[in-house]
Amino acid sequence: MKDNVYVSRVLCLLLGFALQSAPDTVFAQESVSISSDIWCPFICGDDQSITGGLLVDVADEVFKQANIALESPLMPLNRAMMLVAKGQVDGIYAPAITDQLIMSETIVASRACFYTHINDDWRFEGIESLPAVTVSIIDSYGYDDGEFDEYVAKNSSNQSKQLDVRVGETAGLTNVQMLLAERIDVLIEHESVMAHLMDEVGGNARNHIRNAGCLNTALPLNIGFGVTNPYSAKWVDIVNQGISQLKASGRLDEIKSRYGLGSASK
């Protein structure tokens, strides 16, 4: 009986040492969480979850190759930014350029344009033409990493009448619906996203909305990771290497084609 107790204790000790010395990856796969709102064709899904999109598919492929599980929680972009800063979410799809994030290389570039109701004749003719209208934007979005984003930063106070700031997972869709109802003057949205939103609204939305001019500079779309997260440099390196491989193999073009991305996104 004593021998059995002794053997059991020895086995328990050996098992304990084995568990302490074994790498964590033996027992749990590493995971990374990258969040955003719906911004199809770059980030697609429904009102419950993110299910795909160009940036999501790229991330899924590169992290799968690295044996890292990808989670893509759906939430408003401004909330995702706050949670990344707190370390509760690891990264963000297509964030505005900011020093709060370590950015991957550009996956694709996207141009933003201004849209009005067909009954309106206002046109974008440079930043100096903007004070004549109220532009509807989405909180925490980036549009050109240039003149217009600077204009937003300058006029983003609650007292400003130059901007109408929308929030929420479906803020883009809300903007289009309000434009069709002539409840807002002008909205700015990226061309590929706007085309998708008008199709989603339906009802011949394209016949009631006009393109009033576009920004001169396309916005580089990246994946950003929290600057204070100790794993961010590793994840950015994985994404960058994966992007290079996808471009070299032609796989990135295949994914773009899947979402109908053409001249508006290069």
213-to-40, 137, 145 alpha-carbon distances in Å? 21, 15, 17
- In DSSP notation, 173-211 reads HHHHHHHHTT-SSEEEEEHHHHHHHHHHH-TTGGGGEEE
Please give the Cα distance from 63 to 249 (Å, whole number). Answer: 17
Give, as one character, the DSSP assignment of residue 261: -
Contacts of 119 (CB under 8 A, 6+ apart): 182
Answer yes or no: are the C-beta atoms of 75 and 95 closer than 8 Å.
no
Give, as one character, the DSSP assignment of residue 101: E
Domain ranges of the chain: 27-108+220-258, 112-217
Answer yes or no: are the C-beta atoms of 188 and 114 closer than 8 Å.
yes
Q: What are the beta bridge partners of residue 211? A: 115
Structure tokens, 163? 């901007």
Structure tokens, 175? 């903007």
The reply to whether 112-217 shares the fold of 27-108+220-258 is yes
Q: Report the amino acid identity of residue 245.
A: Q
Answer yes or no: are the C-beta atoms of 112 and 188 closer than 8 Å.
yes
SS3 27: coil
Give the model's pLDDT for residue 121.
97
Give the model's pLDDT for residue 262.
60
The pLDDT tens digits along the chain (266 residues) read: 445 544 445 444 444 544 454 444 334 569 999 999 999 999 999 888 999 999 999 999 999 999 999 999 999 999 999 999 999 999 999 998 889 999 999 999 999 999 999 999 999 999 999 999 999 999 999 999 999 999 999 998 766 789 999 998 889 999 999 999 999 999 999 999 999 999 999 889 999 999 999 999 999 999 999 999 999 999 999 999 999 999 999 999 999 999 999 644 55
What is the signed CA dihedral for 89, 94, 100, 103, rounded to 10 degrees? Answer: 100
CATH of domain 27-108+220-258: 3.40.190.10
CATH superfamily of 112-217: Periplasmic binding protein-like II (3.40.190.10)
